[in-house]
Structure 1
Amino acid sequence: MKFSSTMKAAAVGGAALLILTGCATNEAAPETGGETTPSSLSGTLAGAGASSQDAAQQQGWIAGFQTANADVTINYDPSGSGAGRESFQQGAVAFAGSDRAFKADEITAGPFDACTTSDIVEIPAYISPIALVFNVDGVDNLNLDAATIAKIFTGEITKWNDPAIAEANADATLPDQAIVPVHRSDKSGTTGNFTEYLAAAAPEAWTAGSVEEWPAEITGGEAAQGTSGLVEAVKGGVGTIGYADASKADGLGTVSVKVGEKYVPFTPEAAAAIVDASPLEEGRGANDLAIELDRTSTEDGVYPLVLVSYLVGCEKYEDPANAELVKAYFEYIVSADGQEAAAKAAGSAPISDSLREKASAAVAAIS
């Protein structure tokens, strides 16, 4: 579907974010080691979205890409998944990071002002467990099943020594202390993934569905802005518990989630395993690689409370300069070097070779 000339005009503001000179066509993905051909790419590329990706973006992908392309500056604003998708739709940024893919009806409704069509590229480039993090004096690890987690966040379970927690943690000394659940105050893909897990794995205890904005009917606990804000609220509180990208879990107690008859701690490998065990969503465009996660899997070694964060771009850009830089940057991110850079920076799980093959084909379609 072609957008009207009025809608195309709206893309001018977004295109102004990208000033590009002397760009090479069909630039190969940058390498991080060994001898490389000097890059002729230059300009400034703007992206925004998922705060979960921030460490991977800043310390992994941006650092690696700019090292190989010294005349390129990439700015990524970790404003949250919802804000990033909206900025991308408005043409204010050339790409977005999002902790969920666009829904089919959202793509149909559009618009995507930086694109010439409604066909978008969505690539699952950042895979990480969502950690349940808590701050209880003297307790470092807990075992919890999905129903117990749901009841904690709805306020049905209010004390840390509740029988439902104590029975699964016989070796822990649990205090007679109030539980303070902390949730995201902003529209968040992490919240969307967390509530999707609860809705699938504990539907009787969690009836609010899969939502990116915390349900208004659940009024207890505290709210915090962004991943960093939530983690700081948990660290600074007493008896607090929250959910965040696992890269931010250092210094806090963490939860092993019940899968089948076992309790599974979060690891990058367990997160990658659930992604590979899940199919792509049906009815999507050829370059829209939205994954339908199996949150109720009982396979050994999988961790179902996982965040799959996407890179989102146009299949065809209004501005060829946007296309060139986005394509080169996405090529680097999905490469083995790019995935390793993210793993070192953020503890994420590198995508599998089979997923990389699909992702590379999707990136190649950008023009």
Structure 2
Amino acid sequence: MRRAFSVVCVVLVGLLVGAPTGTAQAERLVGVGTTTMTTLVEQWRVGVPSLAYSGIGAAAGLAEFDAGRADFALSESTAAQAGVPTTRPLRYVPIAAQGISVVYNVSVRGVRVQGIRLSTATTAKIFTGAVTRWDDPAIVAENSDITLPPLPIRPVVRAEATSTTARFTDWLDSTQPALWQTACPGCGATSTYPSLPGITAVPGAIGVGNYARQTNGSIGYLERSYGQALNLPQATLRSGAGVYVAPTTDTVQVGLGQARQLADGSIDYRPVHTGPTFGAYPLVMHVYLVVPATVGSEIQRFARYALCEGQAGGLALGMTPLPQARVSASAAALGISCGPARPTQTLGTEVEAGELLMSVEAGGVALPSPVMSPDGSILTTSGRLRTITITDTRAGDPGWSLSGQLTDFTSPSGTIARSNAAWTPMVLEQAPGQVITPGAVTDLSTARVLAVAARGAGTAKLTARLDLWVPTSTYAGDYTAVLTLTAI
């Protein structure tokens, strides 16, 4: 049978202006560097309409800047980290930032597993080949509430040198040096991922994302903006504070605030990796505005808009605004100020807390009398749960989870174990904008998830098909069980 493969290509870049040639002219501000920033720089051109920016890659941009063919470069790494020799005096000024997500694709019977938690030790073992299956005890121990399949892990990394790899390997090296140095002696933080058994390397962030989307069991690392655009699940990582932290705008910003800025303006991320600050996401990355020792007025105009007015523009792209303290430090380094404040008005409204409500259609569920299977080995019956209605009016749309816990079926004649029952969850109705995923088709031997709402504001109706297998040795009688539903 011929199989059809599809490639999803999410482009986070806008217009690519051709790489500049010759010396940058005074009336035209020329910038080069990382492709990640192309769309955001297009927004920031409001400050300097004459700006021409080429997303040619961070390393290539640093080389162009050093050769004098650009007025500035944008890069997530310093020239030394990118392996680019420089002769031109330069400075690094943080101007943008985002998180790095550990993305994965683990599906059971076509349903994606959500909410996987990983410590640095487990992540290091996965990306060095020491842990090779999703049901490995190390992963199960951190995810006791999730059913993980006996599926091979397929790690994927960037094939080329990249700042994202440098930040990711720096995290592994600073938090798990023994594991990392054993797998890659002398590597430390490296922008090119080492060739290790069982690790697949593909070019480009989109290449990593497409591999992850198409490969069940895959796991990789991406800029949060790409992971968000590709709609890939993102792991919750254990921080230096010993808590699991998801990559959100707020947690990434807290993490950015823990990084230490060095004398040349570059950033030391190790305090973020190991620091005890609660709520700090540990994998973060700045974008540097790389400028000469003396900056001109056009660069100052561009940077003033980017720092003082343009930070929020990256939110829709998965970027994170710099903490205010870093905005102030970057502005001061360039000899600019974000003041004086413009005239403002304060607007206010009270958002009521709202509530999460659940109701169940009246009546019980009467399953038909079990019938013998064709081979005579078991009796079977099936039915459907009464409709469950969930209404969520809470502020902030935090989402919800609906689970069920079944008792054994009992009668004076005997017991039918609850493990003989299974359900197939179904979403009957959902409101516009709701994102609801039905739970897995599974037995009811323990508490099981019926549905999870990533965005649950509004009203949804749910149910589940219920199947019951009755041993032929079961005595006749009326058997009953109780299903307790919990919505949180």
Query: 1:339 and 2:311 equivalent?
Result: yes
Aligned pairs (5 A) from 1:353-364: 353-364=324-335
Query: 1:278 and 2:259 equivalent?
Result: yes
- Per the alignment, residue 46 of structure 1 pairs with 31
SS state at 1:364 partner: coil
Displacement of 1:15? 6.8
SS state at 1:187 partner: coil
Q: Distance in 2 between matches of 1:224 and 1:104?
A: 21
Aligned pairs (5 A) from 1:45-64: 45-49=30-34, 51=35, 53-54=36-37, 57-58=38-39, 60-64=40-44
Q: Cα deviation per residue 1:43-62 (whole Å; 9 max; x = unaligned)?
A: 3623122x4x33xx31x332
- Per the alignment, residue 265 of structure 2 pairs with 289
Query: 1:201 and 2:181 equivalent?
Result: no
- Per the alignment, residue 311 of structure 1 pairs with 289
Decide which of 291, 295, 302 is 1:329's aligned counterpart. Answer: 302
Displacement of 1:233? 2.0
Query: Once structures 1 and 2 are overlaid, which stretch shifts more, 235-244 or 87-96?
Result: 87-96
Q: 2:162 touches 2:191 (CA, 8 Å); kept in 1? A: yes
Displacement of 1:69? 4.5
Question: AA paired with 1:88?
Answer: F
Per the alignment, do residues 331 and 15 of structure 1 end up closer, same or farther by CA in structure 2, a change over 3 Å counting?
Answer: farther
Decide which of 203, 212, 215 is 1:225's aligned counterpart. Answer: 203
Per the alignment, do residues 15 and 364 of structure 1 end up closer, same or farther by CA in structure 2, a change over 3 Å counting?
Answer: farther
Q: Distance in 1 between matches of 2:253 and 2:26?
A: 36
Displacement of 1:93? 3.1
- Per the alignment, residue 172 of structure 1 pairs with 146
- Per the alignment, residue 216 of structure 2 pairs with 238
Per the alignment, do residues 104 and 238 of structure 1 end up closer, same or farther by CA in structure 2, a change over 3 Å counting?
Answer: closer
Question: AA paired with 1:192?
Answer: A
Displacement of 1:356? 1.5
- Per the alignment, residue 264 of structure 1 pairs with 245
Displacement of 1:76? 2.7
Displacement of 1:73? 4.2
Query: Once structures 1 and 2 are overlaid, which stretch shifts more, 352-361 or 93-102?
Result: 93-102
Q: Distance in 1 between matches of 2:150 and 2:287?
A: 37
Per the alignment, do residues 136 and 153 of structure 1 end up closer, same or farther by CA in structure 2, a change over 3 Å counting?
Answer: same
Q: Distance in 1 between matches of 2:74 and 2:48?
A: 21
Query: 1:16 and 2:22 equivalent?
Result: yes
Per the alignment, do residues 301 and 78 of structure 1 end up closer, same or farther by CA in structure 2, a change over 3 Å counting?
Answer: farther
SS state at 1:128 partner: strand
For normalisation by structure 2, the TM-score amounts to 0.58
Identity of aligned residues (%): 25
Decide which of 54, 58, 66 is 1:89's aligned counterpart. Answer: 66
- Per the alignment, residue 163 of structure 1 pairs with 137
Q: Cα deviation per residue 1:154-199 (whole Å; 9 max; x = unaligned)?
A: 1111111111111111122212111111111111111000000011
Per the alignment, do residues 170 and 106 of structure 1 end up closer, same or farther by CA in structure 2, a change over 3 Å counting?
Answer: closer
Displacement of 1:274? 2.3
In the alignment, structure 1 segments of 5+ residues that lack a partner are 1-12, 22-42, 113-117, 318-322
Considering only aligned residues, what root-mean-square deviation do their CA atoms show, in Å? 2.5
Q: Distance in 1 between matches of 2:23 and 2:287?
A: 24
Question: AA paired with 1:163?
Answer: P
Whose radius of gyration is greater, 1 or 2? 2
The higher-RCO structure (CA 8 Å, 6+ apart) is: 1
Per the alignment, do residues 86 and 262 of structure 1 end up closer, same or farther by CA in structure 2, a change over 3 Å counting?
Answer: same
Q: Cα deviation per residue 1:338-359 (whole Å; 9 max; x = unaligned)?
A: 1111223x23221222212211
Q: Distance in 2 between matches of 1:92 and 1:297?
A: 40
Q: Distance in 2 between matches of 1:94 and 1:357?
A: 22
Q: Distance in 2 between matches of 1:205 and 1:268?
A: 30
Structure in which a larger fraction of residues adopt helix: 1
- Per the alignment, residue 6 of structure 1 pairs with none
Aligned pairs (5 A) from 1:52-201: 53-54=36-37, 57-58=38-39, 60-65=40-45, 67=46, 69-70=48-49, 72-79=50-57, 81-103=58-80, 110-112=86-88, 118=89, 120-137=90-107, 138-201=112-175
Structure in which a larger fraction of residues adopt strand: 2
Q: Distance in 1 between matches of 2:94 and 2:326?
A: 8
For normalisation by structure 1, the TM-score amounts to 0.76
In the alignment, structure 2 segments of 5+ residues that lack a partner are 1-18, 337-488
Q: 2:82 touches 2:163 (CA, 8 Å); kept in 1? A: no
- Name the count of aligned residue pairs: 304
Per the alignment, do residues 241 and 256 of structure 1 end up closer, same or farther by CA in structure 2, a change over 3 Å counting?
Answer: same
